[in-house]
Each structure stands twice: as C-alpha cells, then as structure tokens.
Amino acid sequence: MLPWMRDAVAVQEDALCSVTQLRGLDPRLKAHLMEQKIQDFFSIQLAVWEMCCGGKSSLHDICFSAPTGSGKTLAYGLPIVNGLAEQNRSRHKLNCIIVLPTRGLAVQVHSVIAPLSKSVGLECVLACGCQNIRSEALDLMSLSTYDIAIFTPGRLVSHLESTMGFASACHGVRYFVADEADRLLRQSYNNWISKIFQAFHARRDIDCEKTISQRTRKPLKFVVSATLTRDPSKLETLELCSPRLITFIQGVRLDD
C-alpha cells in the first residue's frame, strides 16, 4: 500500500448536506440541482467537494471509492463544472477529459454531465463509438465549442493519433477523470494512459504567451472506482500529484 492510502478520509453512509449549504456553488448549478429535485449531497460528494474546494483547488489529486448508487458521477462532475463555470468564454477550449471503460458507462456519465454543463453555458461531447469515428473527429476538430469530452479508452487513443488538433488541445486540459479506474487499469487499451499523459505534458513552442508554470501545470485528476485498487504499480501509472484518498464506510456510523 502506498503511504498516502494509509491516511484515508473515511465518510459515513448516511451523512447528508443540503445543496443550499455548499460553499462556492455557482447559483446556476444550484438552481439546476433544485429543478432536478436534488436537494441533498451524499457524504462522498461532500467530501470530494470540500477537498477540491468546489473544483477550484488543484492542491491534491483525489482518489475515491464508493459503491454504485452513492453518487460518484456527481461527486466529481459537479466540482469540475463549477470550476469551469467562471472561465472566460472568449478563451474557450477543451478543459476536461473523462475516460470510462465501456460505451454504456460513457453514455450514462454523459447523461449526468451534459445537463450540468448546459446549465452554466458549457458544452460536453461524447466520443465512445455511438457514431462513426469520422463524425466524432469532426466534432472534436471543433474543440472551441466543447469544454468537456467523454471517451472510452480505445476511442481516446484513436483520436489522439488521427484527429487533427486533438492531441495538442489536450495540453490545456485542467481536469482528468479515470472513472471505474480498476477496470481501466487492468487492461492496456493500446497504452492509452501513456499516450494521453504524453499529450498533457507536450510543450508547444508557439504558445509563447504562457508562463513556464502555466505550460507545465498538470490537470487535477479524479480517480474513481467502486473498489479502488491498492496496487502501487498500477496507481503510479496515473502520475498522481499529492493524492488524497476518500473511502466510503457502508452501513457503519463513524460516531458509534
């Protein structure tokens, strides 16, 4: 076990927090959640929100494990959209990449993230094989239109290797999510992790207006799984920066 995994933040199953009490939540997102009858945040969602300051702090990459139905997608989706909501539309670019192991899961996550994004004027694109790769490529070549892109690993590699401008656009990504991380890490999917991280780290000589610190900034990473692996060799491939672990204590009250 890696040292940071021994210092996990444990959250209890039945803890709730009213959406109206979330500090730093964009009013448009609050209105959207209330319209969707989402009035309370589950414990895992609140813990992730607080650890990344509503998506506005990249001090720690965040790993968390929680069972199906505990709100994992909203746990990372809401901070990401909240963090992007304040960006200047005139400097619009791809800011977030979310990767899931199957088409069905990618579609499911898109159904949650896309409405959140729309509520604050952001756009979300899905590239997982629901349409042919040429159509996806045409969408991705209009990257000034999209803030968040959701992929399966195979399609991500295909677009990195063949879609004009996509690899270089990944350089500016602010958020990266590996959802169902255990499944993603068990298979190589044509070495997708190495290829996307190469795109994150690439420097562009023409980008002379940015400072060195901005050019080398790594995206804030969310690593999510129902049962997160403790295998150091697998986790180290994700190049985590000062990671923190949040665990979900199901059926146990921490104050008992």
Residue with tokens 């896309």: 114
Residues 183-228 have pLDDT tens digits of: 999 888 889 999 999 999 875 433 434 444 443 468 999 999 988 8
Query: Is position 234 within any domain?
Result: yes
Global pTM reads 0.89
Query: Is position 256 within any domain?
Result: no
Of the listed ranges 5-14, 134-143, 172-181, 201-210, the one predicted with least confidence: 201-210
Contact in structure between 113 and 82 (CB atoms under 8 Å):
no
Residues 143-152 have pLDDT tens digits of: 667 899 999 9
Average pLDDT over residues 154-169: 90
Query: Is position 254 within any domain?
Result: no
Query: Is position 255 within any domain?
Result: no
Q: What is the mean pLDDT of the chain?
A: 85
Contact in structure between 65 and 226 (CB atoms under 8 Å):
yes
List C-alpha distances in Å: 135 to 22, 128, 140, 170: 39, 11, 9, 19
DSSP β-ladder status, 148-151 and 16-18? unpaired
- Report DSSP letters for 122-153, one per residue: --EEEESSSS-HHHHHHHHTTGGG-SEEEE-H
Ranges of beta strands (E only) in the chain are: 9-12, 16-18, 40-42, 62-65, 96-99, 124-127, 148-151, 175-179, 220-225, 244-249
Q: Does residue 106 register a pLDDT over 50? A: yes
* CATH code for position 139: 3.40.50.300
Query: Is position 205 within any domain?
Result: yes
- What is the per-residue pLDDT for 204? 46
What's the structural domain count of the chain? 1
Residues 15-41 have pLDDT tens digits of: 688 888 889 999 999 999 999 999 999
Query: Is position 85 within any domain?
Result: yes
- What is the per-residue pLDDT for 129? 79
Helix/strand/coil for 225: strand
Enclosing domain of residue 59: 3-249
